[in-house]
Amino acid sequence: MDRIILHCDGNNFFASCECTVRPELRKVPMAVAGDPESRHGIILAKNDLAKKAGVQTAEPIWQAKRKCPNLVCVPATFDLYHSFYERINKIYLSYTDLVEPFSIDESFLDITGCMHLHPGKSPRDIADEIRERVKAELGITVSVGVSFCKTFAKLGSDYKKPDATTVIFREDVPSIVYPLPVSDLVFVGKKTTEILSAHAVKTVGELAQLSENYLVRILGKQGKDLYTVVHCLEESQVRDFYDYVAPKSVSHGMTFRRDLVGENEVKSGVSVLADRVASRLRFEGFKGSVVQVTLRDPSFKQIQRQKKLSHPTYLQKEITDISMELIRANWDFSKPIRLITIGVNELVPKDEETVEQVSLFDMEESHTDTKKQEAIEDTMASIREKFGDKSIKFGYSSDSELGIK
Ligand SMILES: [Mg+2]
């Protein structure tokens, strides 16, 4: 029997959350913006009135205001969105434990094993019931895709919105999925779309006509995955919400395509690694209070240094700064580096209150700086969640020669 998988996606999520706590915002065109004080801040979400005026997600505020001069921009309040994330997933968990959050406003549910608890109801009925409950209890709308695999469930929630259910069972794939552009498939990004387009493949149906060997030849492992998906063979599981083991530390290492020499090259490498570590910490919901750096030279000589911080962090900037401080104190930059690993240990849940042991003298300043940097990185994280990891970068330049992407 086929599995029954739902993908539930909150509509205009950030804007919808803001409108539930400030209903007056429903009456005006409104957008949640990263850095609303600056004309160059970008639109993260908008309500229906703003959408009607042509405001688009990810465009700069000045551009949105040109289309919609009375647009009200409010700053992002991530605590609020997180509380909605918890409440919405609690509703999903009343149906099944197999709830896998995919981002702050999207979750997969596998309801195969609990259909018998809802006699007389179809999968569509359950999806509709979930939508009605979320709307009634939280005041926001979700769109739901129902399918036998995760990829098409995700496609379904995108197919019709807001506040709609789309069912894509096996028999619906040729009529619903095949006419869609390949870029509608999750994980098919710009680059893959370009490669496929160069092979005259624009739609999912055209993709389904290629052999597995051909797809592997042009796309590598992703070709195999895509073949599996478009031939309805995808079996990836929805994780159990409670099946989670907290990490003890988070680290990321990289051997560079060529050795790094000089402070600037080393800093580029360190920034990228710190970024990965920071994203992972944020995703897992932790901060850590020890930063550790491991360096290896071309003859495999290795040093490892660490520093205990006065407060736990998950900030890319702080992890970068401390790593560089450790390297500066322990490494001669004229010597080549082959591998760098950055790690953060002694993790605590990110929301746990911690006493910051900073001296009274610099307390105020350092506290506001940290809060400011957290706000910046929170905004960046949300942009990446929505638009992909590559949509926004910290101040390092990518350097493909060094194997840094
Ligand atoms: Mg959404």
Same topology between domain 1-169 and domain 178-230: no
Helices 360-387 and 78-93, packing angle to 10 deg? 50
Distance (angstroms) between ligand 1 centre and the Cα of 187 equals 16
pLDDT at 81: 87
**Does the bond joining 23 to the residue before it have cis omega, within 30 degrees of 0?**
no
Contact status, residue 101 vs residue 9, Cβ threshold 8 Å: no
Distance (angstroms) between ligand 1 centre and the Cα of 266 equals 38
Alpha helices (H) in 316-359, listed in sequence order: 316-330
Q: Strands 142-147 and 165-168: what pairing?
A: parallel
Residue 42's contacts (CB-CB under 8 Å, 6 or more residues apart) are: 33, 34, 35, 58, 59, 60, 61, 383
Rounded Cα–Cα distance for residues 350 and 355 (Å) = 13
Identify the active-site residue in 100, 106, 265, 385: 106
| CATH number at 1-169 | 3.30.70.270
Distance (angstroms) between ligand 1 centre and the Cα of 337 equals 43
For ligand 1, an ion, list residues with CB under 5 A. Answer: 9-10, 13, 105
Distance (angstroms) between ligand 1 centre and the Cα of 222 equals 25
Rounded Cα–Cα distance for residues 211 and 272 (Å) = 37
User: Is the pTM for the entire model greater than 0.75?
Assistant: no
Distance (angstroms) between ligand 1 centre and the Cα of 16 equals 10
106 catalytic residue (yes or no): yes
pLDDT at 378: 75
Distance (angstroms) between ligand 1 centre and the Cα of 45 equals 9
Rounded Cα–Cα distance for residues 309 and 354 (Å) = 12
Report residue 26 as tokens: 């429903």
Rounded Cα–Cα distance for residues 213 and 106 (Å) = 33
Q: Where are the domains of the chain?
A: 1-169, 178-230, 250-402
| CATH number at 178-230 | 1.10.150.20
For residue 222, give the H/E element and its range. helix 221-230
Rounded Cα–Cα distance for residues 324 and 94 (Å) = 47
**Would you write out the chain's pLDDT as a tens digit for each of its 405 residues?**
899 999 999 999 999 999 999 999 999 999 998 777 777 778 888 999 999 999 998 888 999 999 999 999 998 887 788 889 999 999 999 999 999 988 889 999 999 999 999 999 999 999 999 999 999 999 999 999 999 999 999 999 999 999 999 999 999 999 999 999 999 998 898 899 999 999 999 999 999 999 999 999 999 999 999 999 999 999 999 999 987 666 788 998 888 878 899 999 999 999 989 998 998 898 888 999 999 999 998 888 889 999 999 889 999 999 999 999 999 999 999 999 999 999 999 998 887 654 444 444 444 455 566 777 777 777 777 777 666 665 555 544 445 555 554
Distance (angstroms) between ligand 1 centre and the Cα of 141 equals 10
pLDDT at 173: 97
CA 345 to chain centre: 23
Rounded Cα–Cα distance for residues 55 and 68 (Å) = 7
Distance (angstroms) between ligand 1 centre and the Cα of 114 equals 25
Distance (angstroms) between ligand 1 centre and the Cα of 9 equals 5
Distance (angstroms) between ligand 1 centre and the Cα of 13 equals 5
| CATH number at 250-402 | 3.30.1490.100
CA distances 23 to 87, 140, 170, Å, are 19, 12, 41
